[in-house]
A and B are shown apart, each in its own frame.
Chain A
């Protein structure tokens, strides 16, 4: 029974990153992962309490523009597993889950960065295969990508299933603190690359005003990103309605229906 549970937990760890980055059905959000882990471990109630704690910690942490964020889903999964292996007392389980889950979740950032770096080579290899006319080979090479990403979460989970939290602690003790700190610092600086890349494709010079407004409201007024998004929507809506009045529809009246439809799914 314990072996089956361990295997299922590792399989879930492998799947959750692939789903989050692909189908987005079971995702890696703590609430859902915690529920599934709870079903596997046979204690949904305690698992949900742990998952709820992590879910609320994770709010507002979004994986945007290729940034690497602490993997709270991984933290939940490992936390639920180790906690329910040890105890079914809710408060104890919560404490154990936080103590074990958080460091593993942080480790998740570093492995995620590594996965994204390695995938450059996958892309190059696939393109080479294409140019040599080996189309089947190209298809196969692409599958290395999901394999790498699956391992970024399955490996730390497997280590926790096999060795409990001891090994994770050992790794973190063995590696000098400046190094792990440095990697964490890098993790919180690296989103800048995603943002800067995104900016290359946007009319920054034309709408520098908007960039500054967003920055000022977030940095000085600390408004949550959701509020700023709404404000951005307000500006966008104003611009849209004002300019739509000025611009006549170029094509016939039949297209008006399409225009309305376009607005619906884009907004």
Chain B
């Protein structure tokens, strides 16, 4: 955007403000359609206004950020910092590059990040704080809060790092970054594969009865074929439904809720 209107320089204060705005909103506008996108728009809206002086550019830029976005909120800081740097450098022309960068990185980062932030960390701290708690001792919980405060500042720092060197890092790494993303995908997909049977739960309480013999469908038939058969099938069906783009995410959600209610009414699925 080499027009005569010179853009104000984005200061470190602007970056910190954007980081804190995004960190507050993160999942607090979470919805099934574009997930964290509104939080990204809210977080970046002030700093992007400084970059895009023309209303049309500003609108185009924010509309771009309204596209589906979801990753571990802690990792997102790095991506968003770098996205701001890209828009600062090339203005609205960078729109497609920003979008490609965000969608390319969010999946792998979510795989690794969710495991670290939402599984590993709470599991370790929760075990410690929980066991101490059973004895009426709040020490573990206090340590947990202190660590959270440390990570809060670390995350602001991540945003700044993304802004100052995220892009340099990414361009400099080149092929090496691909290797990193691929490795992250490998770990991420292993974890996602494990999530399907451990998070998605379906149970058929029906039984076949012939004379004295009862045959529970779930434990004696389905589980014998394959454990977590139904969650696997459901994942495949929903995956294909989303890929086909024939239904919106909200419609798919209602479909699942409707299916659960109907199956519950007829006793096909149990809690």
**CB within 8 Å of B: which residues of A?**
18, 21-27, 29-32, 34-35, 38, 44-46, 48-49, 51-53, 55-56, 58-60, 62-67, 113, 116-120, 122-123, 126-127, 130-131, 133, 135, 138-139, 142, 145-146, 149, 178-179, 181-186, 188-193, 195-204, 206-207, 210-220, 223, 225-226, 228-229, 231-233, 235-237, 239-240, 243-244, 247, 249-251, 255, 258-259, 261-263, 265-267
Contacts and interface: CB of A to CB of B under 8 A. Distances in A.
A52 B172 contact: no
A250 B28 contact: no
Contacts of B32: 66, 116-117, 120, 193
With most chain A CB atoms within 10 A of its CB, the pick from B144, B151, B191 is B191
Contacts of A38: 138
Contacts of A185: 202, 260, 263-264, 269-271
A95 to B, nearest CB: 15
Given A31-B126, A31-B141, A192-B200, A207 B189 contact: yes
Contact of B190 (A181, A206, A228): A228
A244 B176 CA distance: 7
Nearest to B173: A259
Interface string B157-177: 010010001001101111111
Contacts of A211: 189-190, 192-193
9 contacts: A27-B144, A27-B148, A66-B30, A66-B32, A127-B63, A146-B25, A186-B257, A198-B110, A250-B176
Given A190-B253, A195-B235, A197-B70, A35 B23 contact: no
Interface string B53-76: 001001100110010001001100
Contacts of A66: 30, 32, 35, 70
Contact of B31 (A26, A119, A201, A206): A119
B84 interface: no
A133 B42 CA distance: 15
A235 B189 CA distance: 11
B9 interface: no
Interface in B201-244: 201-202, 226-228, 231-232, 234-235, 238-239, 241-243
Contact of A52 (B42, B131, B270): B131
A26 B118 CA distance: 15
B172 A225 contact: no
Nearest to B197: A219
Contacts of B261: 178-179, 182-183, 186
A135 B45 contact: yes
A29 B31 contact: no
B185 to A, nearest CB: 5
B86 interface: no
A210 B190 contact: yes
Chain B interface helix/strand/loop/mixed? helix
Given A211-B193, A235-B187, A22 B253 contact: no
Given A32-B145, A142-B42, A179-B264, A203 B126 contact: no
A133 B59 contact: yes
A73 to B, nearest CB: 11
B126 A236 contact: no
Contact of B49 (A135, A206, A243): A135
Interface in B12-47: 23-35, 37-39, 41-42, 45
Contacts of A189: 200-202, 234, 256, 259-260
Contact of A201 (B107, B115, B183, B198): B107
A148 to B, nearest CB: 9
A183 B260 contact: yes
B31 A182 contact: no
B235 A196 contact: yes
A259 B250 CA distance: 41
Given A29-B144, A219-B228, A138 B184 contact: no
A122 B192 CA distance: 29
B176 A52 contact: no
Given A189-B234, A195-B200, A228-B190, A48 B141 contact: yes
A228 B241 CA distance: 28
Nearest to B230: A189
Contacts of A51: 130, 133, 141
Nearest to B132: A52
Given A126-B38, A200-B243, A215 B118 contact: no
B133 A190 contact: no
B226 A130 contact: no
B227 A258 contact: no
B100 interface: no
Contacts of A131: 59, 63
Contacts of B201: 188-189
A210 B130 CA distance: 33
A215 B232 contact: yes
A73 B202 CA distance: 24
